[in-house]
Amino acid sequence: MSNFFFKNTGPYDINYLIKAVGLKNLNYAEEKVIDIKDLNTSIKTDITFFHSKKYLQFAKNTKASFCITTESLKSFLPSTCKPLISDNVLLHTAKITKIFYPDSINDDFDNSVEDIKNTKFKDTVNYGKNVLIGKNVKIGSNCLIGHNSIIEKNVSIGDNCSIGSNVIIRNSLIKNNVHILDGCVIGKKGFGFFPDKNSNFRYPQVGVVIIEDNAEIGCGSTIDRGSLSNTIIGKNTYLDNQIHIAHNVKIGDNCIIAGQVGFAGSSSLGNNVMIGGQAGISGHLKIGNNVQIGGGSGVIKDIPDNTKVMGYPSKDLKSFIRDNK
């Protein structure tokens, strides 16, 4: 998918990138790199990264020309992908991402916005007071936007959507029949830092938020855009109030998530998942289909399909009940 929200300053010669971020690889023949992407979406002209065996299957099948990885993981890459050995894969990936997308570090307000009364949407959208719209925004038919809401540049909103009051949407693709309630912030940068000597290096966030058809986002919820991949809310999924979705999280279809649940980055949920209030999901986990997670649970490991868990750390529901009689 083309990135409509951040300008790619590439291509760059691979040897320039190696030298710029302090990688210690031998010089390669001159070769242009067009973009940096994750293992799954990269193509022949891209650079990617591989830092954990959790992503082994994607690594074996990546189409990227180069991969930032470790000495112990390089053997899993296909012969068409040249390894760039790193002692801190994520930090070097962040630095190269910043070279390609320097604007992604900032999250300043969009100064292209104007009052909706002065845009082409003045007669096609039902809107409240003080609604601001950025450049190149797309809004479908039969949509409503509440008071004091801001839709920033390049955002796309489908048909039959309602956006509440005091909502900010940026770097997002909203499909049809989506309802975003009051006070939500959608598409801001995620919370990603790496210690780098005496300072913190912020991980660039160049992905988007995609909210699929018939989803509902409860009041005061926040959904961060992805870093190199996208943050996705599936079809017919309902989020209660005050839920936080971190960068790269993938939530499947027909999920029901109660209030104040928090998701750390890069976790994924299958379809038909139910989560009780104030549960916490750690990062880089895989939650299967038809899973039920009790309120207040702390999930720190993968959960297979058709499982019910509860507690901190979460355990099989029958075990939890037996242990807490």
User: Which residues are known to be catalytic?
Assistant: 247
Contact 186, 168 (CB under 8 A): yes
Degrees, nearest 5: CA angle 160-175-302? 130
How does 192-224 read in b/e, with b if 16+ C-beta sit within 10 Å? bebeeeeeebbbbbbbbbbbbbbbbbbbbbbbb
Are the beta carbons of 220 and 242 closer than 8 angstroms?
Answer: yes
The DSSP call for residue 99 is: H
**Using CA atoms, how far apart are residues 180 and 288, in angstroms rounded to an integer?**
26
DSSP 121: T
C-beta separation of 129 from 109 below 8 A: no
Spatial separation of the C-alpha atoms in residues 60 and 68, rounded to whole Å:
14
| CB of 321 closer than 8 Å to CB of 307 | no
Here the contacts of 44-51 (C-beta below 8 Å, separation 24 or greater) are 44/80, 45/11, 47/14, 47/17, 47/84, 47/96, 48/81, 49/89, 49/90, 49/92, 49/93, 50/76, 50/77, 50/89, 51/89, 51/90, 51/93
Do 76 and 59 meet the contact criterion of CB atoms below 8 Å apart?
A: yes
